[in-house]
Amino acid sequence: MTVMLFLQQLRGELRKLFARPRTWMGYGAFLIMEAVILFVYKLDRSQRAMKGIVERNGLEFGTYYSSLTITFTIMLISMVLLGAIYFALVAGDIVAKENEDGNLRLVFARPISRFRLLLVKYAAVCLYTFTFVFFVGISGYLMAVTAVGWEGGLLVMEQKMKVFAAYPEWVDGAKRLALAATGIGISMITLSSIAFMFSCLKIKPAAASIITLTILFVDMILQEFPFFKPYESWFVTWRMSAWVFLMEQQISWPKIIESYAFLGGLNITLFILGWLSFQTRDFKT
């Protein structure tokens, strides 16, 4: 009964999320971005550059100029450029916007605890973030298939985390790509958790999103400073990039589990901080 009610509340929360035009505009923005990346990939200059890199590594260009490789690039670029903004906007809105619009006054006329309401909203944000990454992966792949066909392997080159891997077989590449999408989805939940925590404070929704993005950009910039290089594993965005290790030929699970445990702990802490602030507030104009 309690679980059923929770699921009904979650369904309602997702219904609200998907009833907003902005949500669909976000999907549209990602599709446009995927198309742009694909267009760039199709340019002769891009193909020549990629051919050079692939062949310098002793690999066959024809095998790795594929829908899987393009999808990987689409996910990598679009998540960094658009995903951060988009998830911060959605999670930053989820509580603060309803407070600003006065909807919470109707909700709290009901016998639902603040903790439970936040739990429902947080679950909706996590689910949304996680599934959105798969939307980007699947739509990106379908676009890439229409452009270069479905065959070919997967080539992974990620400079920041220093990962280079090649999967000549489509099946192996597809499995790793699905694993990567799972990893990105989990990593992105941390971004949403930061925005969610700020959304629980008594601030404007836009402020919650902007503060989240500021924190992440500062985090990314600071870890590039030579002084902070020995401490890079303490930076949130470095931990969020741990999904790239899932693409390594030999997966180092302890390294990945360590990062996700760090992120999991951070997510729980952020939720609790948000809840504590939310719990002590008065809801009245």
From 64-72, 112-120, 176-184, 223-231, span contacting other proteins (CB under 8 A): 112-120
- According to CB under 8 A, which one of 105, 175, 202, 255 is a site residue for other proteins? 105
From 35-43, 61-69, 96-104, 221-229, span contacting other proteins (CB under 8 A): 96-104
Contact predicate 17/98, CB 8 Å: no
Give the distance, in angstroms, between the CA of residue 128 and the centroid of all CA atoms in the same chain: 10
From 57-65, 109-117, 148-156, 242-250, span contacting other proteins (CB under 8 A): 109-117
Q: Which is nearer to other proteins, 251 or 276 (CB)?
A: 276
- According to CB under 8 A, which one of 28, 33, 117, 240 is a site residue for other proteins? 117
For every residue of 104-170, DSSP letters joined together read HHHHTTSS--HHHHHHHHHHHHHHHHHHHHHHHHHHHHHHHHHHH-S---EEEEETTTTEEEEE-SH
Number of residues that bind other proteins (CB under 8 A): 30
From 2-10, 79-87, 223-231, 263-271, span contacting other proteins (CB under 8 A): 2-10
Q: Is 3 in the site for other proteins (CB under 8 A)?
A: no
Q: Is 276 in the site for other proteins (CB under 8 A)?
A: no
Nearest approach in angstroms of CB 283 to other proteins is: 4
Rounded Cα–Cα distance for residues 232 and 33 (Å): 30
Rounded Cα–Cα distance for residues 44 and 62 (Å): 14
Contact predicate 225/159, CB 8 Å: no
Q: Which is nearer to other proteins, 18 or 253 (CB)?
A: 18
Element spanning 5, H or E = helix 2-19
- Local structure of 81: helix, strand or coil: helix
Contact predicate 143/38, CB 8 Å: yes
- According to CB under 8 A, which one of 25, 53, 107, 276 is a site residue for other proteins? 107
Q: Which is nearer to other proteins, 102 or 265 (CB)?
A: 102
Residues lying near other proteins in the complex (CB under 8 A) are found at 1, 4-5, 8-9, 11-12, 15-16, 19-21, 101-103, 105-113, 117, 280, 282-285
